[in-house]
Structure 1
């Protein structure tokens, strides 16, 4: 529920497709879209033709210097996220960064150092955490009503054709950080991790099966969690019937979700275990609004937290745990061994880049524009 707050001044860096989701949310929430920064004048003009913006800048540094902002939305390609987030923190402006927050764990730790120095937070867009059903599931699990989590599956089975990777920064380790593990499935397994909690070990496979990329186009991981639960995580961009699926088997109920890019109540299914049929009433979402798990819900929560002076999510520490899961998936797949949580540190090559210098297939020989 939205708290009573004055309109907050927000700026957007980058006006590509995902920036439109941020602008729509800000408009609907009554926040002030005060400025945008965009290096491409034509793209900036197209954006401001849809969303009236008082000030347009050719670079983020100038926008951050000249505008008094309460929040900066970083909607640029992944390789630019860290320097832009650091610039925002040093300007005293909290940053809400599209996923992935950074291209490596080392970069995440660099962000954490600047956050500690400046006292200004960096937040990551993981909007599926904020759907009402996901919030309800975490609440029920914490209450003990569902019993222990035992088994889970998480599948992001999407389809991206060869032409999708014609965009220069897609499918390249050095500018996107990885394939569907980093850029597509990360939203689903972040939701999985937000429910199951800390993971302890990952064993994985990854392959470039079909697409013209340097990165993987499929990965599969088996994970063990602190609470003893076991989960499988599949990320694919070669699956013609697209779907996003999660299933949680608890002691007293099974909870399932199937959607594509955003869920509502009707996308969930709750099945009590025999003898626990009374739990069905706890799952009922009632007759209220049924919003989709899109950007608006998280941005609303962030704006409310800033206005109230409380800690907004998703914090760097939480986002790092999700990024570490991706790093462990790559490290396990490319080294052929299990990888434990907390293992990838210091000089480990997978701390500096998701490919770890160990990709078993040859890179695509193309020049990035």
Structure 2
């Protein structure tokens, strides 16, 4: 009989709302993972969290936790501005980090993470859980096999609603703390899934505006994108849409594949329509025997835990996350500069490399930038 592997020892930094999803996921993995420590600067919030999820050790300082605990994985569930310094601290401590989106606030910060990862050999992963739903995995497999034909047209819509009170939280809607509006904080999950299916993008043209909400950032953005394989896509991100929905549609040569959900999908949220003469493809779409699980944190965290236990490479890597982050940066750069932006065009000295706003937000005073 195979020898049981010891559980992956996990720590969580930050015990706000999203940490609950991580803790729930860990509790559902049976003996494969265990939550052994948390770090939280707010004692009351830490007490509330550990009342729901008993944890052997609680720290008020993340670096102390990383130093004292023997961890195999740390979940970073703090506001976006803190993601990079905490991820670097984890790498320096030899602990792989799973970071909530966005991984960083800028491409420059992403490249800093890449450098430290290369130096330490310790990975940083990003939470993009919609990649891990069974139907998304199946779709990428069918695309890779070529049976659907070439991808031609796609649409990606994150049409959500956040009222003014939502932005009362100090770090929301501020470039320097959250990195951007719905492009960075809401729609990024959907267009990351789009990119995981269509592959590398080559050029985009975008618009962005602050139409209604009391924010420094945009509350709506729209992009037209072209991909290396020739496909073309539209991407819309909004927090001013009363009937909320998240929609993706892929038109291939031989089939259309559609998804409509809100914050997580199941099998019933997908629709497969074969092109005339290709009706047999429906059988391939329905052939999967995967359990019908929601595309939430549990599936990605399970995949990460299993990969760490097996010594294989877990997802989503910094290289993949950077491509998604670059799509966001190019959306802002195109919208604020009024021109198309190509992949790889935002280089080291570009202001949109240093911050998503590029010091060029049309509804705010221009920032002073340094070369």
Q: Does TM, normalized by the shorter one, top 0.5?
A: yes
Alignment match, 1:59: 61
Tell me by how many angstroms 1:59 deviates: 1.0
Tell me by how many angstroms 1:5 deviates: 3.6
**1:339 has 2:341 as partner:** yes
Distance in 2, Cα, partners of 1:345 & 1:351: 6
Paired residues of 1:171 and 1:215 also in contact (CA < 8 A):
yes
Distance in 1, Cα, partners of 2:306 & 2:347: 35
Alignment match, 1:224: 226
Alignment match, 1:166: 168
Distance in 2, Cα, partners of 1:346 & 1:58: 36
**1:42 has 2:44 as partner:** yes
Paired residues of 2:134 and 2:290 also in contact (CA < 8 A):
no
Matches within 5 A, 1:110-129: 110-129=112-131
Matches within 5 A, 1:194-213: 194-213=196-215
Alignment match, 2:100: 98
Distance in 1, Cα, partners of 2:331 & 2:92: 33
List, as ranges, runs of 4+ consecutive aligned residues in structure 1 with deviation greater than 2 Å.
3-6, 285-288
Tell me by how many angstroms 1:6 deviates: 2.4
Paired residues of 1:265 and 1:285 also in contact (CA < 8 A):
no
Question: 59-68 vs 281-290, which deviates more?
Answer: 281-290
Alignment match, 1:313: 315
SS in 2 for 1:277: coil
Distance in 2, Cα, partners of 1:122 & 1:210: 36
Distance in 2, Cα, partners of 1:58 & 1:125: 24
**1:9 has 2:16 as partner:** no
Matches within 5 A, 1:152-191: 152-191=154-193
Tell me by how many angstroms 1:287 deviates: 5.4
SS in 2 for 1:215: coil
Paired residues of 1:133 and 1:285 also in contact (CA < 8 A):
no
Residue segments in structure 1 that go unaligned for 5+ positions in a row: 364-369
Residue-by-residue CA offset, 1:232-281 (whole Å, 9 max, x unaligned): 00000000000000000000000000000000000000000000000000
Residue-by-residue CA offset, 1:283-336 (whole Å, 9 max, x unaligned): 005555200000000000000100110110000000000000000000000000
SS in 2 for 1:323: helix
SS in 1 for 2:18: helix
**CA distance 1:227–1:286, shift in 2 (3 Å):** closer
Which TM-score applies when normalising by structure 1?
A: 0.97
Residue-by-residue CA offset, 1:198-231 (whole Å, 9 max, x unaligned): 0000100000000000000000000000000000
SS in 1 for 2:55: coil
Q: How many positions carry a matched residue from both structures?
A: 361
Which TM-score applies when normalising by structure 2?
A: 0.96
Alignment match, 1:366: none
Paired residues of 1:5 and 1:304 also in contact (CA < 8 A):
no
SS in 2 for 1:18: helix
Distance in 1, Cα, partners of 2:144 & 2:35: 37
